[in-house]
């Protein structure tokens, strides 16, 4: 853990939630909790992890970067 006032440990999580709020969640919100859970789950598991390019991964999605790493290191 970092010292008080040093927010580097929260940076990736804050970035994820910023992307979620600006790219995906409707401006007027959801009609029900079930609708919100389904939609946010879709964003995280399908779009953010499998499709959305990430600058940190040289433009690859996390899923593509992981598959590339597995290929390079001969992990099945």
Which of 23-27, 35-39, 55-59, 64-68 is least confident?
55-59
Q: How far apart are CA 20 and CA 24, in angstroms?
A: 5
Residue whose entry in the numeric block shows the structure tokens 């996390």: 62
Q: Would residue 63 count as lying in a domain?
A: yes
Q: Is the pTM of this model over 0.85?
A: no
54 found inside a domain? yes
Q: What is the Cα–Cα distance from 37 to 75, expressed in whole angstroms?
A: 33
Here the tokens at position 4 are: 């008080």
Classify residue 31: in a domain, yes or no: yes
**What is the C-alpha to C-alpha distance for residues 71 and 66, in angstroms, rounded to an integer?**
9
- Domain count for the chain, please give it: 1
26 in a domain, yes or no?
Answer: yes
**pLDDT tens across 13-32, in order?**
888 899 889 988 999 999 99
């Amino acid at each position: 853990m970092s010292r008080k006032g040093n927010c580097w440990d929260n940076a990736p999580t804050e970035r994820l939630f910023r992307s979620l709020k600006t790219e995906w969640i409707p401006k007027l919100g959801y009609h029900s909790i079930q609708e919100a859970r389904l939609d946010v789950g879709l964003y995280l598991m399908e779009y953010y992890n499998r499709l959305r390019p990430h600058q940190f991964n040289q433009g690859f999605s996390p899923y593509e970067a992981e598959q590339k790493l597995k290929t390079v290191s001969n992990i099945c």
